[in-house]
Amino acid sequence: MIPVPEVNLGGILPALILCVAGLVVMTVCLFFRKGVISFAAIVSLLGIFLAVVANSPLRFLNKTAFTGLIALDGYTWFFNLLILLAAGITVLTSVRYLGDEGHGLYEYFVLLLFASAGMMFMVSAKHLLVVFVGLETLSISIYVLSGILPGSAKSKEAALKYLILGGFSSAIFLYGAALLYGAAGSLSLAALKTYFQAGTPQLMGTVGMGLLLVGFTFKVAAVPFHMWTPDVYEGAPTPLTGFMSVGVKAAAFAAFVRVFFDGLVSLQVSWTHILWVLAVLTMILGNLAALVQENIKRMLAYSSIAHAGYILMGMIAGTAMGTQGILYYLLAYTFTNLGAFGVVALVGRKGEANVYLDDYRGLAKAHPLLALVMAIFLFSLAGIPPTAGFVGKFTIFSAAIKSGYLWLAIIGVLTSAASVFYYFRVVMKMYMEAPDTEPAGLQFSPAMVMALGIAVTGVLYIGIFPTTYLNLALQSVKPFF
């Protein structure tokens, strides 16, 4: 008789709810023409809310499901919540945008939900195949989403570029997984851990680790695997760019950390060296390239590359504090960057006509509150207190110094000093320069206002009262330390 594996759908309930919500949107919207966007948005938000509820029991668990394929622990809980938060804010910032584009693209929400479900599998995976399945679910949804605007050639170009390069990276990841299988005879993280602990690994195993690292660093957009980022971020619909910059990055980092701190922890010495080099390159190149951008989406794309460098620093530190820093940083970055991209979407107006830095001239005069909110996001990205971005950098830098990577931290602060220039440049445009022509008015939708409200509150609240969130992050990384 074939043994029936243990099935416990409760463990993946949050992801399942998202899938169901996506299916509901897909089916129902087939039959209607009007109001599909609002309907899709409401169902998505409902799904996300239910998923948050279904996710809550995971916080205090520490076990596996599906014969060890999936981990149900605080770490999964934290990242699920973060992904749901990102998805929720993205839905809010997208409603108006899609309405403006006017094609009734309800598929956008469906794909967004599926992408989030893929991310949730990725963060909970204890097996490289599950990581891969999650990664592909996420990637394919995002490929389509980047090119979803029917009329935009830029959007198509972005999608194609992302698809081709993303395909390569997935293949490299898979090749790495295959080599690891060849070496260890299994793809589960537990088996890999035992294999690498047993003694000197074969060359095959080490190479496999290297290829895996390439696959992950591609997804988190670290130099030198960052080439796709500026083009894709520029071409994709703005709210989605925000989602990519936080959601995809968070999910990729979550899986990256779990695979490397759980399965491949014995190789820590070797991968730390590689990451050290990558982090330095990423911080320097990301920040320097951002200095000269005129398009704000490209600027934020390079800034997001730079932030990947700071987060890598947390991995290099290799301690509970470093990983805690990664989690907090990603949470801070979620609020900050989604907010910033929300403003970019809002200011971009119909057809993304205003995505250049010069389009921000005089914003403070026309819309003082919006300019203030944007300034707060930019200060947070630059790491200026009392915002969440400051606490994030503070945590990661202290972890790096504590682990003895003083020079890395010094490079980190010097590059973030450089970053101040381009973030403040936007502030300068908003507050200190006057527009050439009076721009058209902005269309504030209630959903967008809510999204920006949540984001700015988050940035300030977790920046001023970080204790609770730092503790949550610390609890969540317990499984590895």
Partner 1 sequence: METSSFPILSFITLAPLIGVLILLFVNRGSHEALRRVAMMIMLADFVLSLVAYALFDPTTATMQLVENHVWVRDWGISYKLGIDGISLFLVLLTTLLGPIVILASWKDIKHRVKEFLICLLFLQTGMLGVFVALDLFLFYVFWEIMLIPMYLLIGVWGNPARRLYAAIKFVLYTIVGSLLMLIAILALYLMAGEASGTYTFDLLKLYAFPVPLQAQFWMFLAFFLAFAIKVPMFPFHTWLPDAHTEAPTVGSVVLAAVLLKMGTYGFIRFAIPLFPNAAMDAAWWICLLAVIGIIYGAWVAMVQVDVKRLVAFSSVSHLGFVMLGMFALTAQGVEGSIIQMINHGLSTGALFLIVGMIYERRHTRLIEDFGGLSKVMPVFAVFFMIFTLSSIGLPGLNGFVGEFLILLGTFRVYPWYAVFAASGVIFAAVYMLWMFQRVMFGEVTNPKNVGLKDLCAREVWVLMPILVFVVWIGVYPNTFLKPMEPSVKNFIQHVEKKRALVLDVERAKKQAASEAGPVLASSAQTPSVDR
Distance CA 322, CA 311 (A): 9
Distance CA 251, CA 236 (A): 19
Q: Smallest distance from the beta carbon of 33 to partner 1, in angstroms?
A: 44
- Residues 6+ away with beta carbon under 8 Å from 219: 135, 169, 248, 249, 251, 252
* Segment 211 to 240, residues that bind partner 1, using CB under 8 A: none
Q: Smallest distance from the beta carbon of 134 to partner 1, in angstroms?
A: 32
- Single residue of 53, 227, 410, 450 touching partner 1 by CB under 8 A: 410
- Single residue of 144, 190, 281, 428 touching partner 1 by CB under 8 A: 428
When asked if residue 394 is in the footprint of partner 1 (CB under 8 A), the reply is yes
When asked if residue 64 is in the footprint of partner 1 (CB under 8 A), the reply is no
When asked if residue 397 is in the footprint of partner 1 (CB under 8 A), the reply is yes
Radius of gyration from C-alpha coordinates of the chain: 21
Size of the chain in residues: 481
The alpha carbon of residue 127 and the mean position of all alpha carbons in its chain are separated, in whole angstroms, by 21
- Taking the least distance from each CB to partner 1, the nearer of 261 and 405 is 405
When asked if residue 187 is in the footprint of partner 1 (CB under 8 A), the reply is no
Left, alpha or beta for 101 (phi > 0: left; psi -120 to 50: alpha)?
alpha
- Single residue of 122, 364, 452, 459 touching partner 1 by CB under 8 A: 364
- Taking the least distance from each CB to partner 1, the nearer of 247 and 389 is 389
- Residues 6+ away with beta carbon under 8 Å from 298: 230, 233, 234
What is the sign of the dihedral through the CA atoms of 246, 252, 254 and 257?
A: negative
- Single residue of 10, 185, 368, 453 touching partner 1 by CB under 8 A: 368
Q: Would you list the DSSP string of 274-312?
A: HHHHHHHHHHHHHHHHHHT--BHHHHHHHHHHHHHHHHH
Q: What is the dihedral of CA 97, 99, 103, 107, to 10 degrees?
A: 70
Q: Indicate the residue type of 356.
A: Y
Q: Which stretch binds partner 1 (CB under 8 A): 42-50, 112-120, 129-137, 420-428?
A: 420-428
- Taking the least distance from each CB to partner 1, the nearer of 345 and 396 is 396
Q: Which stretch binds partner 1 (CB under 8 A): 143-151, 260-268, 335-343, 427-435?
A: 427-435
Helices 249-258 and 74-101: angle between axes, nearest 10 degrees: 160
When asked if residue 348 is in the footprint of partner 1 (CB under 8 A), the reply is no
Distance CA 70, CA 79 (A): 14
When asked if residue 36 is in the footprint of partner 1 (CB under 8 A), the reply is no
Q: Is residue 61 helix, strand or coil? A: coil
- Single residue of 15, 122, 474, 477 touching partner 1 by CB under 8 A: 474
Q: Which stretch binds partner 1 (CB under 8 A): 41-49, 163-171, 245-253, 421-429?
A: 421-429
When asked if residue 466 is in the footprint of partner 1 (CB under 8 A), the reply is yes
When asked if residue 478 is in the footprint of partner 1 (CB under 8 A), the reply is no
- Single residue of 398, 442, 461, 478 touching partner 1 by CB under 8 A: 398
- Taking the least distance from each CB to partner 1, the nearer of 175 and 394 is 394
- Taking the least distance from each CB to partner 1, the nearer of 106 and 469 is 469
Q: Which stretch binds partner 1 (CB under 8 A): 141-149, 163-171, 256-264, 405-413?
A: 405-413
Q: Is residue 322 helix, strand or coil? A: helix
Contact 469, 326 (CB under 8 A): no
When asked if residue 401 is in the footprint of partner 1 (CB under 8 A), the reply is yes
Give the burial class of 26: count Cβ atoms within 10 A of its Cβ; 0-12 exposed, 13-18 middle, 19 or more buried: middle
Task: Give the N- to C-terminal CA distance of the chain in Å, as an integer.
Answer: 40
Q: Smallest distance from the beta carbon of 222 to partner 1, in angstroms?
A: 22
Q: Smallest distance from the beta carbon of 389 to partner 1, in angstroms?
A: 12
Question: Which tokens sit at 259?
Answer: 């695979």
- Residues 6+ away with beta carbon under 8 Å from 266: 193, 196, 197, 201
Q: Indicate the residue type of 210.
A: G
- Taking the least distance from each CB to partner 1, the nearer of 224 and 368 is 368
- Single residue of 68, 386, 435, 479 touching partner 1 by CB under 8 A: 386
Q: Smallest distance from the beta carbon of 358 to partner 1, in angstroms?
A: 14
Binding site for partner 1 (CB under 8 A): 364-365, 368, 379, 384-386, 390, 394, 397-398, 401-402, 406, 409-410, 413-414, 416-417, 420-421, 424-425, 427-428, 431-433, 466-467, 470-471, 474
